[in-house]
Amino acid sequence: MTRHNPQATSDFPVIDTLAILGSGLIGASVLRASKARELFRRSVVWDIRAENRDFCVSSGWADVATDDLAEAVREADLVVIATPADTVGDLAERIAKHLKPGALVTDAASTKGHIARVAHAAMPEGRHFVAAHPMAGSEKNGPSAAKEDLFEGRACFITPLSGRTDDNAVAAVSGFWKSLGANIVEVSPDDHDEIVAHISHLPHVAAVALAGMLARKPDLWRDCAGGGLRDTTRIAGSDPKLWKTILEQNRDEVLRALRAYQEELHGLERALANRDWFEVQAILERGRAYREQFRQIP
């Protein structure tokens, strides 16, 4: 595991108090990664689940855990909202009046258009919301699945509202995510939603549909599955409620990506139906070329 690295953290000063709202896999990983890199002097976790609060304190990652939002954020220099996408805007509104002057707020949700606007509008003078989305996760849930290197080498979208989100706040919040090992990608909230609809939400939907179709077949078929089916459907094992929310928030872009995928499948179906083996091989070659261009993640 990575320990404190002065170079990696040079973009982000050590702060007094970090508050994490929601200590699931992502929130607890942010906490754990920040602690390993000594980015704060004191940490507070807010969670409505007592077992999550207990876990974060007993593991030594959090100094305090509470189910009182005002208490959680009152002294925070940086608040990370790591709750499901449909709750981030609401939480930003609820914490707004308790934030101290200069406080920064960021999040980690998979959709940005709605959240960036609502949370920005909720902030009082001198407090700043900078929307973020680290491309890291797992089909596992809860703080016990947290990893201190979860964000290492991963992309992290930072999605300021053009001309409205404070530049210094954007730089500071970017520095925070960068300190956790992420590669910062700054795009508009709407561009973000289009990109992740394709590279994250569509793969999810494709995996779920594959699993759902095969669920109707005899059990023996599933028991014969090799590594291909296992990998291809892994993310179908993720939390359905969480993903319903993501698809709800990014419906239009997901529909667009899904239709483009259906077009591609239809082209492959047509090539097979026509016994156009030259075209089939060209499609296979294009898929491999794409796959080979993936950058390595440490």
Q: Which of residues 41-100 bind its own copies (CB under 8 A)?
A: none
- Shortest distance in whole angstroms from residue 245 CB to its own copies: 9
Looking at 27-35, 38-46, 98-106, 256-264, which segment touches its own copies (CB under 8 A)? 256-264
Which one of residues 4, 97, 100, 251 is an interface residue with its own copies (CB under 8 A)?
Answer: 251
Residue 204 interacts with its own copies (CB under 8 A): yes or no: yes
Residue 171 interacts with its own copies (CB under 8 A): yes or no: no
**Residue of 95, 165, 172, 74 lying closest to 128 (CA atoms):** 165
Could you tell me if 158 and 184 are in contact, meaning their C-beta atoms sit under 8 angstroms apart? yes
Residue 273, CA distances (Å) to 263, 267, 269, 288 in order? 15, 10, 6, 22
**Residue of 214, 218, 211, 215 lying closest to 243 (CA atoms):** 211
Residue 262 interacts with its own copies (CB under 8 A): yes or no: yes
Amino acid at 181: G
Contacting residues for 142 by C-beta, under 8 A, at least 6 apart: 24, 25, 28, 52, 55
Which one of residues 14, 48, 70, 265 is an interface residue with its own copies (CB under 8 A)?
Answer: 265
Residue 229 interacts with its own copies (CB under 8 A): yes or no: yes
Which residue number, 69 or 145, has a Cβ lying nearer to its own copies? 145
- Shortest distance in whole angstroms from residue 249 CB to its own copies: 11
Which one of residues 1, 3, 168, 223 is an interface residue with its own copies (CB under 8 A)?
Answer: 223
Looking at 35-43, 65-73, 119-127, 198-206, which segment touches its own copies (CB under 8 A)? 198-206
**Residue of 156, 148, 100, 153 lying closest to 123 (CA atoms):** 100
Beta-ladder partners of 105:
79, 129
Which one of residues 36, 57, 64, 268 is an interface residue with its own copies (CB under 8 A)?
Answer: 268
Residue 266 interacts with its own copies (CB under 8 A): yes or no: yes
**Residue of 39, 28, 280 lying closest to 177 (CA atoms):** 39
Q: What is the size of the binding site for its own copies (CB under 8 A)? A: 91
Contacting residues for 98 by C-beta, under 8 A, at least 6 apart: 69, 70, 73, 74
Which one of residues 23, 155, 159, 164 is an interface residue with its own copies (CB under 8 A)?
Answer: 155
